[in-house]
Amino acid sequence: MTARPRFRSIIGSPLAPATRGVLGAAGVLLVIAAYSYYVHRHELAGGNPRFSPGLGQLWIALGELTDVDPRTGAVPFWTDTAASLWILARGLAIGIAISAALGIAMGVWSTVHAMAAPVVTALAKVPPTALIALFLVVFGATGDGFKIALIAFGISPTLTLGVAMVARAVPSNSIVKAYSLGASTAGVVVKGILPQIVPQIVEMIRLAVGPAWIYLIAAEYVNASEGIGHGIVLSMRMVRIDHILVYVIWLALLGTAIDLAFHATSRLIAPWAAARKAD
Amino acid sequence: MAPNHPVLECKKLAQRYRVRGGHQVVFEDLDLAIDGHQFVSVIGASGCGKSTLLRLVLGAERPWKGTLRSCGEPITHPDRTRGIVFQKYSLFPHRTVVENVMFGLELSRTYLAQKWLTWPWYRSRQHRQFRAEAMHRLEQVKLHEHAGKYPHQLSGGMQQRVAIAQALIMKPRILLMDEPFGALDPSTRESLQRAIVAAFHDQQTTIVLVTHNLEEAVYVGTRLLVLARDPRTPAAGSRIVVDEAVRQGAPLDAPETQELLAHVRHAGFTD
């Protein structure tokens, strides 16, 4: 009987999809198991279950949170979610519009880059949460204005620099080629450069969604009458750790869903980018 | 386009680059005229300025001194009268093969104006014609079966074939090629050399091909230019040390070819 040679898998070797799925599920189960163990130990030590709600308690908490509010006839959990998403969407839209326009201009025209890069780089170093006080005054404490502004301001500088970097990285050969095929300057930008960098821009927007949530929740902590951050603040006041944890899990799920949506969009509008190897 | 102007004319052309502590002259007082249906191979050691010359002709950089004219018109920027095939990044990654070939046609001003003015009722008959023309070009290079693929799905040799079709569909006065086959394996390289020679005869276009491969230069060209720096005066930049007519496609072992190769090597080109 000959021994089958044992292959060592080297770093970077791909996995079968089934293996990936199993490992992913195992990761989730591991976290749940670790948490359950923590809850169990806490219980044995005689701790207050209020501060370490088990899985069952979390389930009940979800039920409580999704109960209809008899005063308004609505479910606050859903209205909070809708309110937060609506602010997030507007903040992201404004931030992305500013970043895409300025970033592409910076990427295409060296003069714009030379002028804007120092300012934008410095702005990117300002922690946006430091501006909550300012935005409260400028955009008003009531309403969504200051939250939208905080998100837009929070994500734009970094996103702008990223878009500019990607646009500048388009090979100059590609640009010269477009000119030699008769493109005008606008044609080179719109048909030659832009479509090439769209997948990378979408990727950067995906990364910007995380910070956008931070600014949103921070703003809602400060001042809000609805929204997920507001819900968490209320739970905190009543020391409902179980409610807070449900919100946190909900945030994780929402974030993942948004991430997947961006990923799918990217594949839809740039099918060529998915399979393209880096060269 | 006045009839008595050469397709390409360089007078007293000079270029230099900024380096640390001053300037490096690439070449100075370069005079060159290319007229009619010629296939000019430009050859030289790396750093002799052959790619610089190509970029100047293309209009992608501006000369330090001297003038550049194509059919009497000064060259100020890259335009559709001069096509280019690079060694890399000639194709647009977001366009399929056929879309890459028809890209130049779609960029024509009249077509764009028509398209935008009639939007959204625009139903393009012209677009179908463009596609048909691109498909015809692809058939000529035997790539019509790959029309729907993206460039990254093709081999290097196929990509260069597409790039050549993409440039030639614009019917440029001059087709410029910067080491187009440099990254290919020998057999692919040979078949592409034959393809470009065939295209040269079909299209009646002038071709300027930059290469560092002497055999390639002699095989495809009808005229051979050798750029070299005089080792005794390295600061002065390169000169054209050989400018000879070549019999295109002559076998490499023919005595006249061997003689030419020896002459070129003697005149300054050493591998």
For the segment B121-178, what is each residue's pLDDT rounded down to a tens digit? Answer: 666 778 888 899 999 989 888 888 999 999 999 988 899 999 999 999 999 999 999 9
Q: Which two tokens stand for residue A202?
A: 């979408």
A47 in reach of chain B (CB within 8 A): no
Task: Write down the pTM of the prediction.
Answer: 0.84
Q: Using an 8 Å Cβ cutoff, are B177 and B141 in contact?
A: no
B111 in reach of chain A (CB within 8 A): no
Task: Assign residue A175 a region (left: φ > 0; alpha: ψ between -120 and 50; beta: otherwise).
Answer: alpha
B94 in reach of chain A (CB within 8 A): yes
**What is the per-residue pLDDT for B112?**
80
**Nearest chain A residue to B148, by CA:** A272
For the segment B79-105, what is each residue's pLDDT rounded down to a tens digit? Answer: 889 999 998 878 999 999 999 999 998
CB atoms within 10 A of CB A274: 10
CB burial class (10 A; 0-12, 13-18, 19+) of residue A2? Answer: exposed
**What is the per-residue pLDDT for A1?**
61
Q: Cβ B94–A195 below 8 Å, yes or no?
A: yes
Counting runs of H as helices and runs of E as strands, what totals does chain A give? Answer: 12, 0
CB burial class (10 A; 0-12, 13-18, 19+) of residue A129? Answer: middle
Whether B269 shows a pLDDT value over 60: the answer reads no
For the segment B49-73, what is each residue's pLDDT rounded down to a tens digit? Answer: 888 999 999 998 889 988 888 888 8
For the segment B7-36, what is each residue's pLDDT rounded down to a tens digit? Answer: 888 888 888 888 888 888 888 888 888 988
Find the angle CA(B206)-CA(B151)-CA(B149) to the nearest 5 degrees: 115
A222-245 burial code (b ≥16 CB/10 A, e <16): bbbebbbbbbbbebeeeebbbbbb
**What is the per-residue pLDDT for A205?**
94
Q: Residue type at B23?
A: H
**What is the per-residue pLDDT for B268?**
64
Smallest Cβ distance to B80: which of A171, A180, A272?
A: A180
Rounded to the nearest angstrom, the minimum Cα separation between A228 and chain B is 40
Q: What are the CB-based long-range contacts (under 8 Å, 24+) for A141-147?
A: A141/A223, A142/A223, A144/A86, A144/A87, A144/A90, A146/A219, A146/A223, A147/A87, A147/A91, A147/A215, A147/A216, A147/A219, A147/A220, A147/A224
A194 in reach of chain B (CB within 8 A): no
pLDDT tens-digit profile, chain A (279 residues) = 677 888 777 887 788 889 999 999 999 999 999 999 999 998 898 888 788 888 989 999 999 988 888 888 888 899 999 999 999 999 999 999 999 999 999 999 999 999 999 999 999 999 998 888 888 888 887 788 899 999 999 999 999 999 999 999 999 899 999 999 999 888 899 999 999 999 999 999 999 999 999 999 999 998 878 899 999 999 999 989 999 999 999 999 999 999 999 999 988 888 888 766 444
Chain centroid to Cα B163, Å, comes to 11
For the segment B108-132, what is each residue's pLDDT rounded down to a tens digit? Answer: 877 787 777 777 666 677 888 889 9
Mean pLDDT value of segment B36-44: 89
Q: Which two tokens stand for residue A261?
A: 């949506």
Q: Residue type at B64?
A: W
B152 in reach of chain A (CB within 8 A): yes
Chain B residues with CB inside 8 Å of A275's CB? 150, 152-153
- Helix residue spans in chain B (DSSP H): 50-58, 97-106, 109-117, 125-140, 156-168, 186-203, 214-220, 255-267
Chain A residues with CB inside 8 Å of B170's CB? 181-182
Q: Using an 8 Å Cβ cutoff, are B11 and B66 in contact?
A: yes
User: Residue B270: which pLDDT band, with cuts at 50, 70 and 90?
Assistant: low
